[in-house]
Amino acid sequence: MEASEILKQCNDVWELRHEYAKDWKRRTGGKVVGYMCTYAPEEVLYAADILPIRILGGHEAPSLATPHMFDMWCPFSRDCLNQGLKGKYNDYLDGIMETNACLHMRQAFGAWTIHVPTPWNYWFVMPNAVRSPRAKTFLAGELAEFKKAIEEWTGKTITDKDVDRGIDIMNTNRRLMKQVYEFRKEDNPPITGTEAMTMVWASQLMDKREHNDLLKQLLEALPDRKLDRNTGVRLMIVGSENDDRPFMEMVEDVLEGTFVIDEHCTGSRYFWNEVVPEKDRLQAIANRYCDRVPCPNKDWGMEDCTRTRFPHILQLAQDYGVQGAILIQQKFCDPHELDIPSLRRYLEDNGIPCYFLEFEVTVPLGQFRIRVEAFLEQIRAEELFV
């Protein structure tokens, strides 16, 4: 299959996510559980033959959500709740889970469990002190309880072999996506930022075994793929959740820029780190979630004020030849708002110019175009005088 066709399938899953999930249920007879934060341990869900899908917004004004979450909560979280209240998940979602994520998503989950008729729900206590060894022990215990709760719900015991399978499915998916990302290091990447994002969105919305099949085919197709476009300015996009396709397309199709790498939770931050297998499988999974690139609300230390995410972002920028970074943030998003002033300084001190944009359920493309265009001009002008 050609790369374009594969990527179109990914896009179809993103656009028609509910139809995909319903079809999956029909084919497999399995349960579907929605998660609201990428700290949800999907390995355990796959071990139980459950399909984990990420709850994402619909990019519509969340008018049904207002009686449940007033307007100062992030539009993405309200949009997610709105989708639930609109009944988009009623036909097929068997369960929904949340972790110690940001306060905005916690609220969406809280309202969902009261008003949306999803039969099963679970709060997974993901520790925040991820750099402390205590967190790893605690998390392994949480995973054991979670596994037990799933077993009680499904009536099926999860064996070590099942967990191995779950780990393998997730690790394979992470590894393959990272391999696709390697192509973005090229001078003229054979895959655009929009396409790469679409690939990750599909990962979060479909059976990863099926996604892995697509990825393997994509990896075969990419070496020969030549895109009829100028790479232009090599950009990085960093920040909170992003599935704003029109924005990505605007920058890449209209403005001669290419997002060669990203760092957000619908991007690389989701899949960058694998589980390192150990005899104690749950401990291995716990270690991965503690050691992964953290969400800002977990990116703090036990001894000093440093962050682990910043050097990682800089490394990505250097590895991918980034000329500029666009820092995006869902309006009112606390975790990223807390980091952005420091991140901006850090990147700029290390030679990566930054531009900040605030996202909503829909974005004012006209205004953003002018601003991003100016940013790209600034980068091009600087390059001219280097």
Binding site for another protein (CB under 8 A): 59-73, 75, 100, 102-104, 106-107, 109-111, 113-114, 123, 125, 127-129, 132, 134-135, 137-138, 141, 296-297, 300-305, 307, 329, 331-332, 334-335, 337-342, 344, 360-367, 369
Three-class secondary structure of residue 262 per DSSP: strand
Element (H, E) at 134: helix 133-154
Residue with tokens 């916690």: 106
Nearer to another protein, 111 or 233 (CB): 111
CB–CB of 101/132 below 8 Å? no
Alpha carbons 297 and 245: distance in angstroms, whole number: 26
Contacts of 361 (CB under 8 A, 6+ apart): 57, 59, 60, 61, 62, 75, 76, 79
Nearer to another protein, 25 or 86 (CB): 86
Token digits of residue 317: 């920028």
Q: Closest approach of Cβ 380 to another protein, in Å?
A: 23
Beta strand pairing call for 257-263 and 233-239: parallel
Q: Closest approach of Cβ 14 to another protein, in Å?
A: 16
Q: Closest approach of Cβ 108 to another protein, in Å?
A: 10
- Residue-wise DSSP of 310-372: HHHHHHHHHHTT-SEEEEEEETT-HHHHHHHHHHHHHHHHTT--EEEEEE-SS--HHHHHHHH
Q: Closest approach of Cβ 113 to another protein, in Å?
A: 7
Q: Closest approach of Cβ 26 to another protein, in Å?
A: 30
Nearer to another protein, 179 or 332 (CB): 332
Q: Closest approach of Cβ 38 to another protein, in Å?
A: 15
Nearer to another protein, 22 or 59 (CB): 59
Nearer to another protein, 217 or 297 (CB): 297
Nearer to another protein, 145 or 182 (CB): 145
